[in-house]
Amino acid sequence: AQKITQTQPGMFVQEKEAVTLDCTYDTSDQSYGLFWYKQPSSGEMIFLIYQGSYDEQNATEGRYSLNFQKARKSANLVISASQLGDSAMYFCAMREVYNNNDMRFGAGTRLTVKP
Amino acid sequence: DSGVTQTPKHLITATGQRVTLRCSPRSGDLSVYWYQQSLDQGLQFLIQYYNGEERAKGNILERFSAQQFPDLHSELNLSSLELGDSALYFCASNLDGANEKLFFGSGTQLSVL
């Protein structure tokens, strides 16, 4: 069974600094996808970034990048130049290609950006 | 706007009652997923449907059931409600590619009093 672990319940970062949110996963599949979502206080789930298990380069989307270390089974989210609007819950998720194909989420990390 | 529509946005009911949450997926999406998010908790996967058939099952209680109709909309039925069922229920959809992100609705906030 797939398992996603986010070990940081809460994180603080100073505005304009970079922050790394940790995510490790456990799977026996070779083919899977990793996702990060943001949930602001308003409650909606906002997709941030995707990394495929066969992608050789780390994914980047604007200020978001995914530090993918396949051997360590980690998929950390890096947010550069933090903004006050980045304050939110962040969820890591994984989807195995051949096993059930549903998407499972970690417990989340609450990020607070300080002015 | 994700294109996924959930109704109602808010629902207040009493213990022991039964409610139905409705979800219309994005146009063209065949897969619908249901998630439960309790206060300050992560998203718990409940169930997935693909083109009308159940595809995967997560931590869904026996008091809960779901279905996906021929027009691809889905309903989540919650019965014999308990206080602990109070949560934000999300529906999400995608075409079902494994590398595809899920598009989430805005959720139904259920309060059981």
Distance CA B93, CA B101 (A): 9
* Contact across the interface for B104 and A35, Cβ inside 8 Å: no
Work out the pLDDT band at A14, boundaries 50, 70, 90: very high
Please return the burial class of A31, using the count of CB atoms within 10 Å of its CB with bins 0-12, 13-18 and 19+: middle
What pLDDT is recorded for position B29?
Answer: 94
Q: Amino acid letter at A67?
A: N
Task: List strands edge to edge, sheet with B64-68.
Answer: B5-7, B19-24, B74-78, B64-68
Residue-wise pLDDT tens digits, A26-60: 998 888 999 999 999 999 999 999 999 999 899 99
Q: Is the pLDDT of residue A101 over 80?
A: no
Residue-wise pLDDT tens digits, B3-60: 999 999 999 999 999 999 999 999 999 999 999 999 867 899 999 999 999 988 998 9
Buried b (16+ CB within 10 A) or exposed e, B16-49: eeebebebbbbeebbbbbbbbbeeeebbbbbbbb
Q: Are strands A32-39 and A46-52 parallel, antiparallel or unpaired?
A: antiparallel
User: Is A33 an interface residue toward B (CB < 8 Å)?
Assistant: yes
What pLDDT is recorded for position B96?
Answer: 72
User: Is B89 an interface residue toward A (CB < 8 Å)?
Assistant: no
The single-letter DSSP state of residue B85 is: G
* Contact across the interface for A101 and B48, Cβ inside 8 Å: yes
Chain B hits for A103, CB-CB cut-off 8 Å, are 33, 45, 92, 102
